[in-house]
Structure 1
Amino acid sequence: MNLEKKLEKIEKQLDEMSKSRFPYSDPRIFGLQNPAASGDEIDLRELWDALWNGKWIIIGITFLFAIASVIFALSLPNIYKSEALLAPAEENSGGGLSRMAGCLGGLASLAGVDLVGAKADKTTIAVEILKSREFISKFVRKHKILIPLMAVKGWDRTQDTLIIDNNIYDEKSRKWVRAPKPPREAEPSALEAYEKFINLMSISVDENTGLVNLSVEHYSPYLAKEWVDLLILDINEEIKSRDVAEANKSIAFLSGQLEKTALAELKVVFYELIEEQTKTVMFAKVRDEYVFKTIDDAVVPELKVKPRRAFLVIAITFLGGVLGLVVVLIRYLIGGGRER
């Protein structure tokens, strides 16, 4: 019994010591209530009630956004994509520096010149030329596509005609009437045409197979297909003309060196080089698909690639619902809506 009394006495002393050491541990000293019931924190049930009371605001805003999204999606014109699959043409004959590297490789190595390393992949060069400002600007001028490129806002399927934006180009007076910011003028510049066309054109190269996919997007599926065909034709002609010009210069240079030398061995080398350059010129003239061979021709697309109207409607409607929730929460927090 004495032991029990001692234990009780020790417990009382410990309890008194804890109260004396932590006098502010009891929130009732200052009349504080339970923190969970404090007004500084948001009650989830109260928040739910606020959202429920504002349900018609949320539904109304969501409905308005849904209607607007449908109108907006239907107002967007269809965009069609035509594409062709190309393969690098076989190198039956090279041009200029590459052939000189093959015949003079030994002499060049003795002189410390790496002609083989100077050879560039013709497919890579052709792809970069296709994406260049000079080529595209020349393409736009050559085929007179500035108006369908810069002033079209749609395509009439029933009549197969382009819909011209009268705020950009006046068909009656045949004048550009847009009002761009200086220094740009009413008629689009070559740089503007390039920026527009490069966004419509897409080029991808498969690193494993070397195949090239070339595509063009436009309001008119027929025009998209036509531009792909013209791009393939023009890039083959461009590379061909460059190689022919290079080969002719090489022939002229080698012929001059041939007349100057008296060594029989060098004359043999020069004759071989002239023969190779002559083959290059002949090969270029008889072959249309000079750098790219068409594996799968471009066709007139039947289905649009843009816009994704269903996705737009869902996304804009969802945005409207989120905006409705935000409006109700703002009214609840700072609009005097925290009713008790």
Structure 2
Amino acid sequence: MEPQKEHPQHYLPYPPHAQQPADDEIDLRELFGALWKGKWIIIATTFVFAVGAVLYALSLPNIYKSDALLAPAESSSGGGLSKMAGQLGGLAALAGVNLGGGESSQTDLAVQVMKSRQFVEAFINKHDLLVPLMAAKDWDLANNKLILDEELYNPTTGEWLREPDGLRGATPTAQEAFEVFSKEVLSVNQDKESGLYTVSVKNYSPYIAQQWVNWLIEDINKVMRERTIAETSQNLAYLNTQLQKTAVADMQSTFYKLIEEQTKSLMLAEVQEEFIFKVVDPAVVPELKDGPKRALICVLGTLAGIIFAFLIIFTKFLITRKNSEHESA
């Protein structure tokens, strides 16, 4: 007679119809109960955060943005020079003459020059913008003047008062001014569909914002015009020298065409003020502020208070639950 086999269920720690205890599961009713008990913590924390956000938003000064809409000037493409570049590009390159890469390359170069450290430093020095750029903290609407931070700069003596930090002394360096100007003041954007450019400047004063936009457009046109004049003058001198050295008629004809196009480019650069950019829509004094977004700051501050209060209550709930489990064990 075979021994009776025990049913496999006899070796199970729990009957098949029973569920294992889940000590780590959170009872939602307990959690909602904890939230209800901590409602005053939620209200108080949210109130504190909301008031703090409002006070912070009100303490921020208004920022105004002025912008101008620009179009690439016809002279930036070189006129007939770009067409000649396609026909004579190989010979010009052989002769060591740069005929230019057309409208897009010249305007793109001008944008990069405008954002460059060298141009920004020269722009700040030329118009004496270091103090309004680095020491201003607000704008006096009644008197139409910037309010300077006298902890950084003494307007009476013209002395910078900040503490030196490493290689950066009391007076802001050119690198500091460039960082502030490029990150917080200037922005240049292109509309890919229309090809037009927007140059924008932010400042505490709407009048200063408009003035700086106008100065930027004038200066970039002047810088690019002077570069073209210097380059074409150098090209003409080189072409004339090579023309005197060759006796081949075909090469002389090619040099004459190159000289003609370089002369046209030089004439356009010398007479045209809006050499790279033409102003489609000039900068105006903005009547409304661009920032800060005070309503958004208040909303985000209130939400942060609610989340922080929930975290406090949830943490207290978990700690209390752990302690009760240890006591029951």
Q: Describe the shift of the 1:237–1:22 C-alpha distance in structure 2 as closer, same or farther (beyond 3 A).
A: same
1:300 to 285, 297, 312: 285
Partner of residue 178, structure 2:
194
The 1:257/1:103 distance shift into structure 2, 3 A limit, reads: farther
Q: Which of 25, 28, 31 is equivalent to 1:47? A: 31
Deviates more, 1:244-253 or 1:140-149: 244-253
* Pick aligned residue for 1:276 from 255, 261, 267: 261
Residues 189 and 254 (structure 1 numbering): CA distance in 2 closer, same or farther, change over 3 Å? same
Amino acid at match of 1:64: V
Equivalent-residue separation in structure 2 for 1:336 and 1:197 (angstroms):
55
Equivalent residue, structure 2, for 1:10: none
Decide whether the 8 Å contact of 1:99 with 1:276 is kept in 2.
Answer: no
Report the CA distance between 1:276 and its aligned residue. 3.0
Which amino acid in 1 is paired with 2:270?
K
Aligned twin of 1:22: 9
Aligned with residue 153 of structure 1, among 112, 126, 137: 137
Deviation digits for residues 251-301 of structure 1 (CA, Å, limit 9, x no counterpart) = 222232333344555444444433333332222222110010110111111
Aligned length in residues: 318
Paired residues of 1:62 and 1:317 also in contact (CA < 8 A) = yes
Alpha-carbon deviation of 1:104? 4.0
Aligned partner letter, 2:176: E
- Counterpart of 1:94 (choices 73, 78, 90) is 78
SS of alignment partner, residue 188 of structure 1: coil
The superposition leaves residues 168-226 of structure 1 with CA deviations (integer Å, 9 ceiling, x where unpaired) of: 11112211111142121111111111111111211112223221111111111111111
Corresponding position of 2:169: 185
Match of 1:207?
192
| Matches of 1:39 and 1:268, distance apart in 2 | 95
Structure 2 vs 1, CA of residues 181 and 118 (structure 1 numbering), >3 Å: closer, same or farther? same
1:234-313 matched pairs, under 5 angstroms: 234-313=219-298
Q: Counterpart amino acid of 1:228?
A: V
TM-score normalised over the length of structure 1: 0.82
Q: 1:66 touches 1:313 (CA, 8 Å); kept in 2? A: yes
2:152 equivalent to 1:165: no
Q: Aligned partners of 2:259, 2:99: CA distance in 1, in Å?
A: 18
- Shift, 1:49, TM fit: 1.6
2:315 is matched with which residue?
330
1:128 aligns with 2:112: yes
Aligned match of 1:175: 159
Amino acid at match of 1:327: I
Equivalent AA in structure 1 for residue 136 of structure 2: V
1:335 Cα shift? 5.2
Cα distance, 1:35 vs. partner?
5.8
Q: Percent identity?
A: 46
> Unaligned regions of 5+ residues in structure 2, if any?
none
The alignment partner of 1:163 has SS state of strand
Please point out which of 40, 48, 51 is paired with 1:56.
Answer: 40
> TM-score when scaled to structure 2?
0.85
Distance change >3 Å, CA 161–CA 337, structure 1 → 2: farther
SS at match of 2:187: strand
Whole-angstrom CA distance in 2 between matches of 1:132 and 1:328: 52
Instruction: Write the distance in 2 (CA, Å) between the matches of 1:305 and 1:335.
Output: 49
In the alignment, the residues of structure 2 paired with residue 138 and residue 21 of structure 1 have an alpha-carbon distance, to the nearest angstrom, of 89
Distance in 1 between the 2:186 and 2:175 partners?
15
The residue matched to 1:81 in structure 2 has which SS? Answer: strand
Distance in 2, Cα, partners of 1:298 & 1:54: 55
Single out whichever of 184-193 and 206-215 deviates more from structure 2.
206-215
Supply the distance in 2 between the matched residues of 1:65 and 1:285 (Cα, whole angstroms).
61
Structure 1 counterpart of 2:124, which letter?
A: V
Residue 88 of structure 1: CA displacement?
0.5
* Letter paired with 1:67: V
Once the two structures are overlaid, the 10-residue window that deviates more, 135-144 or 198-207, is: 198-207
Task: Identify the residue that residue 56 of structure 2 maps to in structure 1.
Answer: 72
In structure 2, relative to structure 1, the CA distance for the partners of 1:27 and 1:276 (3 Å cut) is: closer
1:9 alignment partner in structure 2:
none
Distance 1:241 1:100, change over 3 A: farther
Q: 2:56 & 2:238 partners in 1: Cα distance?
A: 64
- How has the CA–CA distance of structure 1 residues 103 and 244 changed in structure 2, closer, same or farther, with 3 Å as cutoff? farther
CA contact (8 A) 1:93 1:280 kept: no
Query: Higher Cα Rg: structure 1 or 2?
Result: 1
- The more displaced of 116-125 and 320-329 is 116-125
Structure 1 range deviating more: 266-275 or 125-134: 266-275
